[in-house]
């Protein structure tokens, strides 16, 4: 067991979460990424002496729809400022009767049905294949679960999040199909975010807040943003409490260096050094610098 790397926790805020209150020494700062424009400036601040970085996924004021989010730039920017662990907060629809609106789900699997997004940092001239068999960091999941228990917040550990392209909500036939597949919640944003965090060797976990029952539910003819926002606002305090309780424990975790997420690229790069595209290697200096530097 070791703990040699300086930790910096990143929070990606989803719908309804555009800011984090209660941080000390805050500043919003533009961070350049070689993959384009992140969703917004990053908010730097301290919580109990620990440095945090916050990024609103849709930008402040919710300007960016799911398919237009530059997930590569977001993860690359967080990596560039030294983020080692990401807590994502997301609104989701429920595909199960017992996952009532207001419940928090610590997601552990995804079915990725998105089709109009860049899904990898790698590509022509530098090919890599990482494992996403276990797409979230269970160590972070443990901390979130413990924080929820301590705060008395109703949380379910484990669940499969169906990621749809959007921006429209699902049809009834789709919603019923996803239920038959055994999916538990539905949203539009956590992929490719989780895959890219894995490629960047950043530990990633998501807290999914159930805001509605999606359209399959007999009491839920259609999903509406009105209703989602109402539930989001009613539960925003719980989301903030959960994050604030989990962060100190993540910061103090002596096992972080042993996490497999942090070595995801160790045996992932396929392209022979001699034929690598130097421009792509340079572009990947933050995301893959650790392995590319040791494989000249
Ligand atoms: C506001 S309803 C739909 C919107 O909310 C979720 O986003 P996020 O994960 O960023 O909270 C969902 O995926 C949609 O993008
Ligand atoms: N029912 C739903 N479908 C997709 N994304 C959502 N985000 C919140 N509720 C959702």
Q: Against a cut of 0.90, is the pTM above it?
A: yes
pLDDT at residue number 49: 84
pLDDT at residue number 48: 82
What is the predicted ipTM? Answer: 0.99
Set 108, 112, 184, 214: catalytic member: 214
Contact 170, 111 (CB under 8 A): no
The answer as to whether 4 is a domain residue is no
pLDDT at residue number 5: 62
**Ligand 2 contact via 228 beta carbon (within 6 Å):** yes
Query: Total structural domains in the chain?
Result: 1
The answer as to whether 248 is a domain residue is yes
Give CA angle at 203 (257, 99), nearest 5°. 135
Q: Give the model confidence (pLDDT) of 50-60 as tens digits.
A: 889 999 999 99
The answer as to whether 1 is a domain residue is no
Tokens of 289: 């610098």
The answer as to whether 28 is a domain residue is yes
The answer as to whether 175 is a domain residue is yes
Nearest alpha carbon, ligand 2 atom 7? 92
Nearest atom in ligand 2 to 166's CA? 4
The rounded distance, in Å, linking the Cα atoms of 232 and 234 is 5
**Ligand 2 contact via 211 beta carbon (within 6 Å):** yes
Contact 55, 71 (CB under 8 A): no
Place of tokens 């977001």: 74
pLDDT at residue number 32: 97
130 Cα to the center of ligand 1, angstroms: 26
108 Cα to the center of ligand 2, angstroms: 18
- The residue range of the domain holding 267 is 9-294
Residue ranges in the chain modelled with pLDDT below 50: 1-2
Q: Which residues contact 9 (CB under 8 A, 6 or more apart)?
A: 50, 51, 52, 53, 83, 84, 85, 86, 87, 247, 250, 251
The answer as to whether 135 is a domain residue is yes
Q: Is 212 a catalytic residue?
A: yes
Q: Give the model confidence (pLDDT) of 235-292 as tens digits.
A: 888 888 898 899 989 988 878 888 999 999 999 999 999 999 999 999 999 999 999 9
Nearest alpha carbon, ligand 2 atom 2? 93
Beta bridge partners of 269: 128
pLDDT at residue number 78: 98
The answer as to whether 2 is a domain residue is no
pLDDT at residue number 289: 95
CATH assignment at residue 154: 3.40.50.1580
Place of tokens 């928090």: 104
The answer as to whether 246 is a domain residue is yes
């Amino acid at each position: 067991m070791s703990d040699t790397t300086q930790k910096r926790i990143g929070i990606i805020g989803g719908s309804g979460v555009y800011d984090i209150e209660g941080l000390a020494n805050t500043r919003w700062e533009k961070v350049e990424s070689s993959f384009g424009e992140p969703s917004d400036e990053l908010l730097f601040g301290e919580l109990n002496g620990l440095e945090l970085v916050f990024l609103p996924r849709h930008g402040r004021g919710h300007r960016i729809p799911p398919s237009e989010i530059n997930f590569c730039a977001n993860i690359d920017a967080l990596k560039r400022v030294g983020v080692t662990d990401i807590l994502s907060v997301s609104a989701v629809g429920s595909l199960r009767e017992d996952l009532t609106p207001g419940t928090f789900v610590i997601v552990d699997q995804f079915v990725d049905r998105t089709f109009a997004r860049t899904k990898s940092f790698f590509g022509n001239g530098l090919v890599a294949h990482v494992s996403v068999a276990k797409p979230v960091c269970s160590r972070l999941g443990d901390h979130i679960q413990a924080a929820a228990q301590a705060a008395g917040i109703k949380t379910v550990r484990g669940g499969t999040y169906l990621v749809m392209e959007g921006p429209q909500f699902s049809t009834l036939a789709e919603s019923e199909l996803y239920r038959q597949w055994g999916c538990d919640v539905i949203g539009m944003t956590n992929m490719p975010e989780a895959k890219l965090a894995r490629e960047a060797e950043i530990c990633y976990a998501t807290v999914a807040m159930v805001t509605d029952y999606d359209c399959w539910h007999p009491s839920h003819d259609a999903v509406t943003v009105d209703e989602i926002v109402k539930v989001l606002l009613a539960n925003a305090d719980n989301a903030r409490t959960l994050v604030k309780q989990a962060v100190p424990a993540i910061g103090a975790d002596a096992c972080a260096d042993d996490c497999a997420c942090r070595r995801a690229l160790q045996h992932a790069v396929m392209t022979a050094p001699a034929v690598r595209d130097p421009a792509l290697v340079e572009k990947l200096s933050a995301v893959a610098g650790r392995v590319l530097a040791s494989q000249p």
